[in-house]
Structures are given as structure tokens and as C-alpha cells.
Amino acid sequence: MPSSEAAAIAADLRTAMGKLSRRVKHEDRIPLGQVAVLGALDRDGAMTTSDLATDQRVRPQSMARVVGLLMDQGLITRRAHPTDGRKSLVDLSEAGHAALEAERGRRAGWLAQAIEVELTNEEQALLARSAALLERLAAR
């Protein structure tokens, strides 16, 4: 059982990370669900709509709607599945890759500016060290 100090740190950290995550997402121009799909395609490559639904933990019908919206915007492409003629694969288009990079840039740009404006040099160094600790916790 964790100590009361560790539990208090965990509660404070969870609250702060939630607030920061919501604030960074505020910079988005593309809805979060759509950005998540673009990110999955960028990370894992072409997938079926069903595989995307499983990856994103949503119903296939919901993913079909998201895929349709992204196709309408020209952010993804569809092609025949190489081994199963009943299926098709969706993948990032060049425009989708550019839109995803722009979203990532907006998020990182806002956060970098906030770090520079709000934190002293000493606090920035502490935050840099903390990022490695957060990575360690996330990998546990």
C-alpha cells in the first residue's frame, strides 16, 4: 500500500496532468477523436476501419463515421486490402500527415511558449528532469 505522501503526490499529479492535457488540447483545430485516428495511422500504418475501432476502443460504427469525415476532408485515403477483397485499408494522405504535424506543432508550440513565459530557468531545468521521471512511471 502506498504511503500517504505518495498518494497525495499521485492525486496532485493526476489533477495537474489532467488540467495541462485539457489546456493543450484546447489548441487543437481538428477534433480529438479525428486527431487520435490520424496519429494511429501515422504510428502504425494503414489499417482497416475495424482495426482502427479496436485500437481506439470505439464501436466500428463510430469509427466508420470518423473515417468518413476524414475522407471527406482528404486527410486519409482508402485502398483495397491486399489479401482480403472484402476489406479495405485506410491510410494517411499527404494532407493528413501535414494536418497531423500542424496539430502537433500547435500543441508543442503552446506548451513551449508557456514553459518559457511562466517558468524560471531553474524551474525549466526541474521540469526537464521531471519529464524523464514521468516517462519512467508511464513505462511501469
Host domain of residue 100: 4-139
SS3 labels along the chain: CCCHHHHHHHHHHHHHHHHHHHHHHCCCCCCHHHHHHHHHHHHHCCECHHHHHHHHCCCHHHHHHHHHHHHHCCCEEEEECCCCCCCEEEEECHHHHHHHHHHHHHHHHHHHHHHHHHCCHHHHHHHHHHHHHHHHHHHC
State residue 108's pLDDT score: 87
State residue 25's pLDDT score: 78
State residue 85's pLDDT score: 85
State residue 116's pLDDT score: 95
Instruction: Give the pLDDT means over successive 10-residue stretches in the chain (140 positions).
Output: 90 92 82 93 96 96 96 96 92 97 90 94 95 91
The total number of structural domains in the chain stands at: 1
What CATH number has the domain bearing residue 115? Answer: 1.10.10.10
